Structure 1
Amino acid sequence: MSESFDFNKPAIPLMEPEEFQRRIIGAMTQHLTHQPSPALLVAPTGAGKTFMLSQVLAKVCSERPTLWFWFTPYANLVGQTVLALDWIKELRLYAMSTERQRDHSNGDVLIANAQQVSSKSADRQVLKQVDDFSISVQGIVARARANKLKIGVVVDEAHIGLSSETEFGKFVKRLKPDSLVMATATPNDVKLNQFLAASGFGENKTFSVSRQEAVDALLNKEFIAAYVYRVSDEWKSLVDLQRTVLRQAWKKHCALKNLLVERGIQTVPLLLVQVGNGENTTREAFEFLTRECGVHPELIGEHTAQAPDPELMNTIAHDTSKEVLIFKEAAGTGFDAPRAFVLASTKPVTDKDYALQFVGRVMRVDQRVREITRTLEKQGKRLSDDLRTAYIYLANAAAQNGYQKAVTVLQGIKSSLEGETERLKRIKTRNGGPDIFTNRPTPQSSMLPEVDWDTTHGSKAETVANSTVDNAEAQSVGSNEVHPSAKIEAQAGRTTFVEEGQGLLFDGDIQPDWDDEETYVPPRLLKIPAKNRDDLRAAFNEIRLSLYPRNDGLPHFAPHLLTELRPSVVDLAKVVKRIAQRLEYSVADLNNALAAATGHTQAIEQRTELVTRQRAPDTKIVALIRREELHRQAKLVLLSTAQFEDADVRQFVQILTSRIQVDAESNGIAVMIDESERDRIYRDMAHDLVRMKADDVVALYHDAISQVVTSRETKSPLPDYMAFPSDLPLLPSAKNSYGVLPPRRNEDMPQVESFLVKEERQFLKHRQYHLRDESTIWVDGYNGTHAMYESENEFAKQLDEAEFVLWWHRNPDRADYGVAVVRPDSHLNFWPDFILCVRYYSEAEPTIRLADTKHDLKDAFKKSRREHKDYKKIIFLTKDNYNLYIVNDNGTKGAKVNSDLSVLRETLRRTDN
């Protein structure tokens, strides 16, 4: 296909068909003028499908006057088609939506997007007459037939244009065309058959062009090379593959430009940059290319319009003052860019149809390259394979799948006379180079120089430590009912509830949140004088509450337990310094951190010739690092300790930065650091070390926290009594601290409100009572944090039977008498389910230990990373398939616990250090 045109403008060439094109044009014309069945043109992208179709239409019109309807799959391809056909004198083009004429003549072509006529809403506008100056499509067809014209339909890009096969087919059927022409690069038999059936046609006649024919005619580049990138796991989240791909693609573009100059070919190559859809994607690519790759801004053309503009795209593609064209996916189809050798895609492309469109942008061959190639062939020479290759750089390895599929289809376009379809081959390279997908016959090295640029430029509730709520603040009565014979008196700082001269005293710092203390008194309870414990129990019994006394007769039992306190702000400052000073790293760690701090690290570039699947040797390249992501990850590591705040993070990084500077200077690393960026680089090195040493940082933090955590007796002793509705009697327990099994969560707790009214349930709160005999009594009610699931209930029964267990206690959350463990990984404390007093063997001293039952092993792992200051390591257990197991330190299921709990006993003994 010889051409003669101004290369600086997207002008329409005057073309003579290639031999294979002449064959196709003649065969299709002969078929359409003598046969009623549809004609399907199957040809690779860049083989001149539109050109061949236009010639066929013109020749059919010369033999049989015809009005043509031409449909494209995308709206932007309508304008592109107009540009491609406008120079053909035998054809006159009209936009179907706005330029319909009442009397069309032979050679007229009405062009529309297929979706316009397959959509019901558009159908009313395009198919029907909407005003006195327009005419419906059916009216056009009727007038054409009256004027002895045949009706022809062209469906371009049929592989993607038939997304609504049946709807579009029904529209075509209403046209009743005499000729149906389809063109595709990737025939989809299912869609084509559905469309043909809906449009009333049977089998079609296929006219095929092989890719090799397009290559031999110098219309297609011979090779396709795809580059993908491999990054080690430690760098995956930091490497900016999108910017890396842009830089590598620009380097390839520059190398090709130099090679063209060396060969005396006056072609200015074009780098196509496909970015994802988004508000700033085009601008970000532009800024990176100009700022970090040194591309002059005037060399870059951008398609930033929301709607694709094919004329703009073609103008930029043909403007040799531009060497880069940045466009979004939506604008990535339908424009010709014969100068394009390299396509950089910064977003995943997995759909083969879209991928094929993008491949087509770099598959065409520039006219000057064609001329030089022909000259060399006449001399028995061959143009460099580097200039016969389309290069595709992919920011996401998954995107290669779409291009692999696309090129597989491309290679599958064979004429019926040709042999086996070429298969694609992926070549894995050594030493961390890129995977290369290519059809170059041998993995020969490229003639292009690979320039290496320096681009340094829990099930139970948990709460915050130190946030223990005063008993009074936790009380809630919630009633305004007034007992008719009650009044309130203030006596020596205590609130006395008096009825008929007899009183039950509450501690003065207990302030129930009653709405009106002047008028409200608790009903019923005050009817009975509370002189002593017996009176108190009787008073509770009057409102159907049983009191279960604390079992002080248990061996080695004490009502006060030891709980942990979170470190103060001063102690946390010590923790920060301790970790920053003790974090260990090697010289190799410093070098890796320097690579991250200077904005790049090593990646593997894998190049594969897509057509032959031959793989070139891997190449190590410099991959760019996202510094903001480096900072974010380091901060997340430090903040994950829960105690650190922004000020602590800054202090930590400052201390570590000072250490790094000293070590860098003493190990000769400092000489590689730009003095003007020294402070920033050392700081970034600290961030990277924190990220890479996250486990060590956390371990050091846990150790440091253990050093500053303190313990003290619980704010209150274990209650003298635990209260629970008398109508829900609790089962006895030989070794429980209150002689009973706590209520069952699913069976007992839901019934509490059924047996007690709101005013009575207030006495299930933790509260101190002052009796007339001058004694004070603490009473709490069993609530949800005391209640046990069935698996916990079974474990409690085993504790009663185990000989080594002296007593056990159900540890409630957030209670003043509860045992808390400071969690370094959370602002919340942790309250283990069970407190056990055990004696491992007869001569051993009794000791108090902690145990917790967990369904979530991950939660158990997190909480097991600290021991209680006094009660040592917490033992976690989990139930699986009716059996109880010890949870290992790494969060996995460990040894099975037997019925006598001897496995638990030995686990407790081994961890009693």
Structure 2
Amino acid sequence: MPVFELLSFQQQAHDGLLARFLEAKRQMDQLGTAPKTSALDTIRKNAGAILFQAPTGSGKTLIATRVVASLSEHDSILWLWFAPFAGVVDQTRQTLHAQAPTLSLLDLESDRRLDALGSAPLFVTTWQSVATSNKEGRKARISGDAGLAVDELIAGAREAGYRIGCVVDEAHHGFKKAAEARRFFAEVLRPDYTLMMTATPKDSDARAFARETGYEVGDEASWASVSRSDGVEVGLLKKGVKMARFIVRNPDDTVLVDFERTALRECAAMHRQMKDTLAREGVALTPLMLVQVPNGGEHIDMARGYLTGKLGFSEQAVRVHIANEPDPDLLALANDPRVEVLIFKMAVAMGFDAPRAWTLAAMRGARDASFGVQVVGRIMRRHRSVHARRDLPDELEYGYVFLANSEAQEGLLSAGDLINRMPTHVAELGSQTVVTFVADEPEVQIVRNGESLRLFADGRVEFPDPPSDGGASLFNPASPGHQQEFLERTGWTPMAKRLQGNSFASSEPTATLLTSVLANDTHTEYTYRRRPDGPTALLTESMPPLPDDFEEQVAAQIDFTAVLSDRERVRTKIVQRTQNIFEDGGIVDEEKWATLSPEVIAAKAKQLVFQFDVDRFAFPRLLRNRFRKALENHGIEPPADEEQLLQQLDLILVRNPKLIAEAVRKCRAAQLAVQQVTLPEEISSELRLSPAKRNLYGIFPADLNSDERRFAELLDIDDDVLWWHRNPSQQPTSICLYGWSHGRGFFPDFLVAVKGRLVGQGLALVEVKGPQLQHYDRAKASARHREYGSAFMVGYDPGKKSFLMFREENGQLYENGTFEVARLRFDQ
């Protein structure tokens, strides 16, 4: 690996970071040879900790490497560099060896000895190697033949005059969930210099880190930062990343489209376009197509099978990485020019370089911006072979992400915003440490912007003496007499006296007139008799149990005639929408065809077939035979392959989801019966109910919600109402409708006897629905009772301050004018 010269923006970041660390060194040096631990902690935890944010591919590892080497020229430091995964430790060591040859790279397994430290010693390791409860982590924390325990090595190094430095690569990964890593950092390592690198910075993570370790990296204004534009200008990064998602023109097909295979197909087409363009430009480079799959074998098998089958890639060109973390195998695959497609798990989105990658198909996505940054980072880099090229076609200046999950766009767009917000600067510290001397003793203070230095750095304050006249103070609270005087001035004393004089303020329970009345009232039951002109009985629909031949009846009711053409509608029109995640606007739409997912269709068809209580073996067989007969009756030869026949049947059922439900409704409607229910002569209540003029029992029932109560009061004052009755739900005296659906009971809220109604024996059924349930229960708006006729659906409109009527047509609910009792005279 050649030694790279830092580019101007990288040198600027390096110089700023070094300056901040050297300032921390100067302050620590001011404390003398035997500093107070508290003073040293204040400096290392405030001035010695820096968060460095930079987009993936901009060279943050190179910058950090040079900072470590440069700082080691000014101070004796034992460095521990924490890589995010064990699989990238060797890659990190190679970079350090090539770019900072003055550093002494040590092995944690064999070099845990004080005499091995020498000049500028550095261990590359992971948190799992030193701060977990696994066997390897425990070995490093125990002294033995392999060397000192890490804890003892760090303590011995301090005694030998070394300061401790710590570099955390992808800091958000190492600390976020690893409590033992945070404890090791804060209690054992206690670094004097801390450099935390990340491509996905968050204020909340920085605050959590400070809260749990005591090390303050400040807010965004205090972080060292490199911008994306700097990397683009010098040719390290592509100009942008374009995100493509797919929108289905027919909303009914959205759940059926095979978005995963569509994303793979379009990504492969773009990959081949990149390959042809590179060849035309004379660039001897095979581009890499990345495929990110959920963490499961079935998705890997599907992607590999589709790529090597339908899309025509060779077996050798498609490779799979199944480990949960980046490792040397993954890095080798990413750099192997014979590999055109690399399939990897979502968990490996971070921590590996793939500079050959121009395209990525994301089978699943996440709305999290941090995860989006990692996805984008895989394809932002420009390959070294084109760094110096400024004449490349525009299409090669962008990376392309194809989303199978459209919702994942939120994560990528947020990632674009997050990356764009990174400026280039090494900020002044938001808070800084200052060493002052009092009586020749060094003291350390933390001074924030706008604050002044204190005379005493240890936080000493002076308290006022107690008043000499004995008045109230912090040391002498107000006496009861003073409190009484305050209460009298504020008018609270009379109320307090009244409360104290009442019997319920006493500690002994005492019966009062009120408690006696309440106690007697709890034993009262109120009775309300049915009005003399009201009916003694009403008619309800009933549904008998399913007959033994129910499956045969339903299958016979299904008519495939009008829907046979749907068996071949295996694709649908979609729009591929592409936009640059780093810029607003510039949206490009292209029309495409997308195939439907056989797996989704089969699953949805299964749900439709078994949505009712049918025999799970007999009913599918009856449907299949009925479908085959329908094909033959129309002169269509059924497929010889049984599986193909089932796929055609599944497609018809999914494209016509009401086919089975309508057949069930017809069968159950034919079995419907009407029977009489007797109304009670009287009803009782433990509560006194409000009187009602026209209610069948002379009261407003207690179970009415606000809309129902408002509607009941409207009925009660209307002269066209002879009487009205609240219909209870699922009670022996309830009026129920079954014919409206496939056997599910419906209990309308009200029965209303209406003057001049000539149908339904003069009774109208009314259902009151709130706005949240109107669409869900829209089918009830077309329900009919076999004797009483239509059921009317009404709902209160707060804006119009009136009730509206609704009607159902073709599965949709429509407003049907303002409610008036007079409209109940006629069926709708």
- Do both share a fold (TM > 0.5)? yes
The answer to whether the Cα contact below 8 Å between 1:230 and 1:605 also exists between their aligned partners in 2 is yes
SS in 2 for 1:618: strand
The answer to whether the Cα contact below 8 Å between 2:104 and 2:119 also exists between their aligned partners in 1 is no
User: Which of residues 1, 5, 8 in structure 2 aligns to 1:20?
Assistant: 8
Question: Which runs of structure 2 are paired with 1:481-520 in the superposition (5 Å)?
Answer: none
Q: In structure 2, what is the equivalent of residue 865 of structure 1?
A: 782
Question: Which runs of structure 2 are paired with 1:719-738 in the superposition (5 Å)?
Answer: none
The answer to whether the Cα contact below 8 Å between 1:100 and 1:110 also exists between their aligned partners in 2 is no
Q: 1:618 to 1:61 in 2, by over 3 A?
A: same
The answer to whether the Cα contact below 8 Å between 1:851 and 1:877 also exists between their aligned partners in 2 is no
Q: 1:105 to 1:580 in 2, by over 3 A?
A: same
Q: 1:96 to 1:692 in 2, by over 3 A?
A: same
SS in 1 for 2:271: helix
Q: In structure 1, what is the equivalent of residue 334 of structure 2?
A: 317
Letter of the 1:888 counterpart: F
Question: Which runs of structure 2 are paired with 1:420-819 in the superposition (5 Å)?
Answer: 563=541, 577=556, 580=559, 590=565, 594-596=568-570, 600-613=571-584, 615=586, 617-634=588-605, 636=607, 687-688=650-651, 690-694=653-657, 708-709=670-671, 711=673, 741=697, 805=722
2:185 paired with 1:171 = yes
CA distance in 2, matches of 1:700, 1:867: 18
The answer to whether the Cα contact below 8 Å between 1:733 and 1:800 also exists between their aligned partners in 2 is no
The answer to whether the Cα contact below 8 Å between 1:579 and 1:697 also exists between their aligned partners in 2 is yes
Letter of the 1:235 counterpart: D
2:247 paired with 1:230 = yes
Say which is worse superposed, 725-734 or 676-685, in terms of deviation: 725-734
Say which is worse superposed, 68-77 or 350-359, in terms of deviation: 68-77
What is the TM-score when the length of structure 1 is the normalising length?
Answer: 0.61
SS in 2 for 1:362: helix
Task: Give the CA deviation at 1:314.
Answer: 0.7
Q: 1:369 to 1:662 in 2, by over 3 A?
A: farther
Q: In structure 1, what is the equivalent of residue 517 of structure 2?
A: none
Q: Percent identity?
A: 22
CA distance in 2, matches of 1:408, 1:813: 55
Q: In structure 1, what is the equivalent of residue 283 of structure 2?
A: 265
The answer to whether the Cα contact below 8 Å between 1:220 and 1:365 also exists between their aligned partners in 2 is yes
The answer to whether the Cα contact below 8 Å between 1:877 and 1:884 also exists between their aligned partners in 2 is no
CA-based RMSD of the aligned residues comes to: 5.6
2:360 paired with 1:339 = no
Question: Which runs of structure 2 are paired with 1:82-231 in the superposition (5 Å)?
Answer: 82-86=93-97, 89-94=101-106, 100-103=112-115, 104-113=117-126, 125=138, 129=142, 134-158=147-171, 163=176, 168=182, 171=185, 175=189, 177=191, 179-185=193-199, 188=202, 198-199=214-215, 209-231=226-248
Letter of the 1:322 counterpart: V
Say which is worse superposed, 258-267 or 224-233, in terms of deviation: 258-267
CA distance in 2, matches of 1:870, 1:206: 77
The answer to whether the Cα contact below 8 Å between 1:702 and 1:865 also exists between their aligned partners in 2 is no
Which digits, 9 at most, give the CA deviation of each residue in 1:101-121, with x for residues without a partner?
A: 343222321234458778899
Task: Give the CA deviation at 1:867.
Answer: 1.9
Letter of the 2:330 counterpart: M
Q: 1:108 to 1:577 in 2, by over 3 A?
A: same
CA distance in 1, matches of 2:194, 2:724: 91
CA distance in 2, matches of 1:360, 1:289: 24
Letter of the 1:156 counterpart: D
SS in 2 for 1:344: strand
Letter of the 1:293 counterpart: L
Q: 1:690 to 1:199 in 2, by over 3 A?
A: closer
Which digits, 9 at most, give the CA deviation of each residue in 1:533-577, with x for residues without a partner?
A: xxxxxxxxxxxxxx99999x979x897958566696779866655
Gaps of 5+ in 2: 25-46, 428-526
Q: In structure 2, what is the equivalent of residue 531 of structure 1?
A: none
Which digits, 9 at most, give the CA deviation of each residue in 1:719-777, with x for residues without a partner?
A: 9x9799999999999999xxx84999879xxxxxxxxxxxxxxxxxxxxxxxxxxxxxx
CA distance in 2, matches of 1:44, 1:96: 30
SS in 2 for 1:606: strand
Q: In structure 1, what is the equivalent of residue 761 of structure 2?
A: 847
Gaps of 5+ in 1: 1-12, 419-546, 748-786, 898-902
SS in 1 for 2:738: coil
Letter of the 1:629 counterpart: V
SS in 1 for 2:826: helix
Letter of the 1:171 counterpart: F
Q: In structure 1, what is the equivalent of residue 501 of structure 2?
A: none
Q: 1:45 to 1:661 in 2, by over 3 A?
A: farther
The answer to whether the Cα contact below 8 Å between 1:332 and 1:357 also exists between their aligned partners in 2 is yes
User: Which of residues 404, 408, 420 in structure 2 aligns to 1:399?
Assistant: 408
Q: In structure 1, what is the equivalent of residue 374 of structure 2?
A: 357
Task: Give the CA deviation at 1:239.
Answer: 1.4
The answer to whether the Cα contact below 8 Å between 2:558 and 2:663 also exists between their aligned partners in 1 is yes
Q: In structure 1, what is the equivalent of residue 41 of structure 2?
A: none
The answer to whether the Cα contact below 8 Å between 1:227 and 1:393 also exists between their aligned partners in 2 is yes
CA distance in 1, matches of 2:542, 2:293: 55
Q: 1:119 to 1:745 in 2, by over 3 A?
A: farther
Which digits, 9 at most, give the CA deviation of each residue in 1:188-236, with x for residues without a partner?
A: 5675587679337899997655444433543323332221222232221
Task: Give the CA deviation at 1:868.
Answer: 2.7
Task: Give the CA deviation at 1:328.
Answer: 1.4
The answer to whether the Cα contact below 8 Å between 2:289 and 2:341 also exists between their aligned partners in 1 is yes
CA distance in 1, matches of 2:622, 2:68: 77
Q: 1:870 to 1:573 in 2, by over 3 A?
A: farther
The answer to whether the Cα contact below 8 Å between 2:360 and 2:400 also exists between their aligned partners in 1 is yes
Q: In structure 2, what is the equivalent of residue 761 of structure 1?
A: none
Task: Give the CA deviation at 1:302.
Answer: 1.7
Letter of the 1:851 counterpart: L
The answer to whether the Cα contact below 8 Å between 2:360 and 2:402 also exists between their aligned partners in 1 is yes
Q: 1:798 to 1:612 in 2, by over 3 A?
A: closer
Aligned length: 692
The answer to whether the Cα contact below 8 Å between 1:225 and 1:607 also exists between their aligned partners in 2 is yes
2:270 paired with 1:252 = yes
Q: In structure 1, what is the equivalent of residue 343 of structure 2?
A: 326
Q: 1:840 to 1:272 in 2, by over 3 A?
A: same
Q: 1:146 to 1:789 in 2, by over 3 A?
A: closer
Task: Give the CA deviation at 1:68.
Answer: 1.0
CA distance in 1, matches of 2:17, 2:538: 102
Q: In structure 2, what is the equivalent of residue 71 of structure 1?
A: 82
Letter of the 2:15 counterpart: A
Q: 1:830 to 1:133 in 2, by over 3 A?
A: same
Which digits, 9 at most, give the CA deviation of each residue in 1:776-829, with x for residues without a partner?
A: xxxxxxxxxxx99997999699789977759989799585x9865434534444
The answer to whether the Cα contact below 8 Å between 1:68 and 1:110 also exists between their aligned partners in 2 is yes
Q: 1:574 to 1:19 in 2, by over 3 A?
A: closer
Letter of the 2:320 counterpart: E
2:364 paired with 1:385 = no
Q: 1:632 to 1:735 in 2, by over 3 A?
A: same
Q: 1:654 to 1:155 in 2, by over 3 A?
A: same
